[in-house]
Chain A
Amino acid sequence: MSDLWDGLSQAWILLWTLDADLVEITARSLQVTLTALAIASAIALPLGAFLAVRRFRMRRLTIAVLNALMGLPPVVVGLVVYVLLSRAGPFGVLGLLFTPTAMIIAQVIIIVPLIASIAHQALRELWSDYHDLLISLNTSHVQRMSALLWDGRRALLTASLAGFGRAIGEVGAIMIVGGNIDHHTRVLTTAIALETGKGDFALALALGFILIGLAIAVNLAIHWLTRTEQEGRW
């Protein structure tokens, strides 16, 4: 129990003094995860809308696979990305292994199925409301998808935030592809794993509390930002 209190007080000290290492790894955590989130949302949200609007042969299978991939173990993703990016692997010439880019790639792969599945679920409901209207207006597929994406943006925000939550707290994959290099690829979660390994539970817990605080802050910020511009529409 005393470790918990030590952790809490140490978290306050680190925050109060704006510890240089803490600021650096927190900034890197945010940089990696927000970049991954932006890329993943750009892929997954249109994909979710596409699955809601279009009917094609393998649709049911695609959705089932996507849902199953939500539970993809990060360690496996990390290992696959590692093998692909390793110098001995097919993309080795790019020299991306053990860089923040490699961590972003791994996180994108982990959260795309999650965001796409939730987005599809939300947009499917909306599509059943809009179906007759949009078809009678003789809209193109792209117009239908963009109408769904725009009008469903609140629900899609939840999908993206779920992706953010999974990515910011992820450690298995980025440990393998990032390597937890000090001042280079160390982020909050890998630092927590490192400090736990050293038996310094108080510092590990302090970093954990900061990670939780960060996740809450980002969620609050996004909700606040979106509330300002949604007046009038559902």
Chain B
Amino acid sequence: MKTFFVAVAAVAAMSAVAWAEDMKMAVTTSFHNSGLSDILLPAIQEDLGLEVQLLVVGTGQALRLGEAGDVDAILVHSKKAEERFLAAGHGTHRLEIMYNDFVFIGPKADTASVADSANAAQALQQIASTESVFVSRGDDSGTHKKELSLWASAGLDPQSLGDWYRAVGAGMGAALNTASGMDAYIISDRASWLNFGNKGELALLYSGDPVLFNQYAYIPVNPDKHRHVKNDLAMKLENWLVSDRAKDLINTYKINGETLFVFNAK
């Protein structure tokens, strides 16, 4: 037993000295899958000498990590959940950084003719009326919450939908893999879709309804609740995120010639 503790202490000491200035930030899978983090993180390292360690999780888990004080800041996209998080005093403030949008993905044959729908609600109604297979994230993430609110606005309750509604309880990539395997409809953020490698028979069918806009917000974890939280570094990062340099990098980031994010920090 003694050797165990000695070894644990030794390894702990080794991993503690390895990093000078670093902070942990929980981000959503959709942000990370977009590839934007691979552009921003090296720039942050270069400008601030700050290493931002990303924990890529769903919005639900990101908020839990912030609540427990296991990360220094979070970058998520689910306004209602964020406001509850702030109301409970877990974060200092909420700062909108940028947005991208959600899109409807489905089989190229488009049996539910989603491509011709006038808005997002109608698209969902068509999927429901034709009972086409639909894959839901089902993991309490920002994308999942968005999807649920869209079903509500279409006047449908996902709980009472039939066998064709399949909640997979997985991240964006895994859910897209499932949809690709079943030729199913799915709602994805545009960035994850463009970067996704296993498209199969799927295609982007519908986008553009303003309700599909997806606002990302940055929330530093409240240092009054967790004294060890590196609030000074979180603020340093915040100042960088609203700077012209970040604006440039975000607005000019493209995949296959398509702009993904629109910077809108004030």
Contacts and interface: CB of A to CB of B under 8 A. Distances in A.
A178 B210 CA distance: 38
Contacts of B19: 184
A154 B177 CA distance: 45
Interface stretch (A10-18, A36-44, A53-61, A127-135): A36-44
Given A97-B70, A101-B12, A101-B15, A181 B4 contact: no
B68 A199 contact: no
13 contacts: A39-B7, A42-B7, A86-B69, A87-B70, A88-B67, A88-B68, A92-B68, A101-B11, A108-B4, A181-B53, A181-B55, A199-B196, A201-B198
Interface in B161-218: 171-174, 176-177, 180, 195-199
A197 interface: yes
A201 B200 CA distance: 12
B8 interface: yes
Interface residues of B, number: 35
Contacts of A199: 173, 176-177, 180, 196-199
Nearest to A100: B15
A105 interface: yes
A42 B29 contact: no
Contacts of A42: 3-4, 7
A41 B176 CA distance: 41
B94 interface: no
Interface in B205-242: 226, 228
Contacts of A39: 3-4, 7-8
A94 B3 CA distance: 19
A42 B16 CA distance: 24
Given A104-B11, A198-B33, A198-B196, A180 B53 contact: no
A93 B227 CA distance: 10
A96 B11 CA distance: 10
A21 to B, nearest CB: 12
A86 B11 CA distance: 18
Q: Which 6 A-B pairs rank lowest in CB-CB distance, beginning with the nearest?
A: A197-B173, A199-B198, A87-B69, A199-B197, A88-B68, A179-B55
Contacts of B67: 88
A180 B56 contact: yes
Interface string B1-37: 1011001100110011001000010000100010000
A196 interface: yes
A181 B15 contact: no
